Amino acid sequence: MLEKTPELLHQQGTSVPPPYEAHSIAPGSSVPRTADARDMFEEDAGATSPSSSDEAEDQPPAYSDSVPSSAAATDTKQQQRQALPATAPAPNFAPTIQLQIQTPGKAWLSWPSPTPPDPVPVFAVSPPPRHAGATGLLLPLPLPPDDDDVGTPSQTPSFVSIRPERRSGSCSLYLGGDLGGEAGPETSRARPVSSTTYRFGHGRPPRVRLVLPPGLAATTTTTGEEEGDGEEEEWDSFEVRSSGLLTRAAQFRTRRLGDFEWRYGSRKERRAAGADDLLVLERLVAATGSSSSGSSAATSRRAVAQLVRSGEHRDPGSGRSSAGNGGRLQVDLSPWEKRHRDMALVAAVTTCLVMLKREVDRRREQQIAVIASGAL
């Protein structure tokens, strides 16, 4: 049988590759390359590629490092902290009157007993110049002189809250000008502007009753005749109910002033107000076009008051861990007409005191739970 050469096997379509010519490669020389499609592609690309000057023009501008150094980041945070005002109200909130509530509250390290029935005075504070005289109140509130520095409280309290006895949580709010005497407030002849029936325990919401002061009880009609016989006249009444089981917020609905909710401010709001603890009163208004019958109707909120508690505005003798201590109450009365601003202020002060009383009762419950757990 004849032997088949590699050339013949290749011509017949076998898998044997054709013979290749051996190239002698000198030491140190490069391996020769044959022209292939890669070389032709590089030639075409080189013919159409831009010059070095064109590449420089098309290049994007140089950027600095996106991640700043630790020192630069620290300086930026310090500048942001310095840019924040010391006591700035919430956005779209411009208080027209400021009050200082003086009550020490209840300390954490104390016996879970009711607080002493000491009167709680509420002093008017000198407002900022841009809000001076913008309250439009008819109540005879003793305001500090105009030449006093901003934040100076008045010498005579505007309101005084009085509890009848130690074991009772109910209280009444009086005008400071109607009370006097060195031995203590005289309530026999004074008429309260609000009264709160407060009972200890869950499921027993406090009930607030607003009463027209003597100066506002006699109203004038369009004919000029006065109505009212000067007797105590109830202006409105409502209950302050908890907003839910897992929240400390509370809501109340009035017939004349609207719906409101007291809630605790967020960390961002506390930082903006310069406060350790912040209570915000918001007015709830149903959005236009929403169904009032639906439970999920859209509701808009507007802050009308806030209680700021910080090292500057906290009541002397109380600390950050105290519950129910006083602070600076800022109220915006511009949403109401002039004839309703007085009672809106009374409602804000009364319900704020209710929130402070709720804090005291919550602290007592915590103390009782700690003592009970230690006895087991």
- Range scoring the smallest mean pLDDT among 34-43, 106-115, 174-183, 268-277: 34-43
Q: How confident is the model at residue 58 (pLDDT cuts 50, 70, 90)?
A: low
Report yes or no on 316 lying in a domain.
Answer: yes
Does 252 fall in a domain?
Answer: yes
Q: What percent of the chain has pLDDT over 70?
A: 60
C-alpha 284/C-alpha 299 separation (Å) is 6
pLDDT of residue 67: 45
Is the pLDDT at 255 greater than 50, yes or no?
yes
In degrees and rounded to multiples of 5, residue 282 shows phi and psi of -115, 140
Higher pLDDT: 133 or 305? It is: 305
In-domain check, residue 33:
no
Instruction: Examine residue 152 and state whether it is found in any structural domain, yes or no.
Output: yes
Distance separating alpha carbons of residues 39 and 157, to the nearest angstrom? 96
In this structure, is residue 45 part of a structural domain?
A: no
Give the list of residues 6+ apart from residue 140 with CB closer than 8 angstroms, or none: 175, 177, 215
Q: Cα separation of 74 and 167, whole Å? A: 53
Structure tokens at 360: 């005291």
- Alpha carbon distance 275, 124 (integer Å): 20
Asked if residue 237 is part of any domain, the answer here is yes
| Number of structural domains the chain divides into | 1
Q: What is the pLDDT of residue 297?
A: 56
- Asked if residue 61 belongs to a domain, the reply is no
Q: Judging by beta carbons within 10 Å of its beta carbon (0-12, 13-18, 19+), is residue 374 exposed, middle or buried?
A: exposed
Domain that holds residue 250: 103-218+228-375
| Residue pair 265/282 in contact by the 8 Å Cβ criterion | no
In this predicted structure, the answer to whether residue 235 has a pLDDT above a threshold of 60 is yes
Q: pLDDT at position 213, please?
A: 85
Give the pairing type, strands 207-211 and 299-309.
Answer: unpaired
User: Tens digits of per-residue pLDDT, 106-129?
Assistant: 998 899 988 898 999 999 987 654
Q: Is residue 112 part of a domain?
A: yes
Six-digit token string for 133: 């005289």
Note the residue count of the chain. 376
pTM over 0.75: no
Tokens standing for residue 125: 């504070």
Task: Work out the pLDDT band at 199, boundaries 50, 70, 90.
Answer: confident
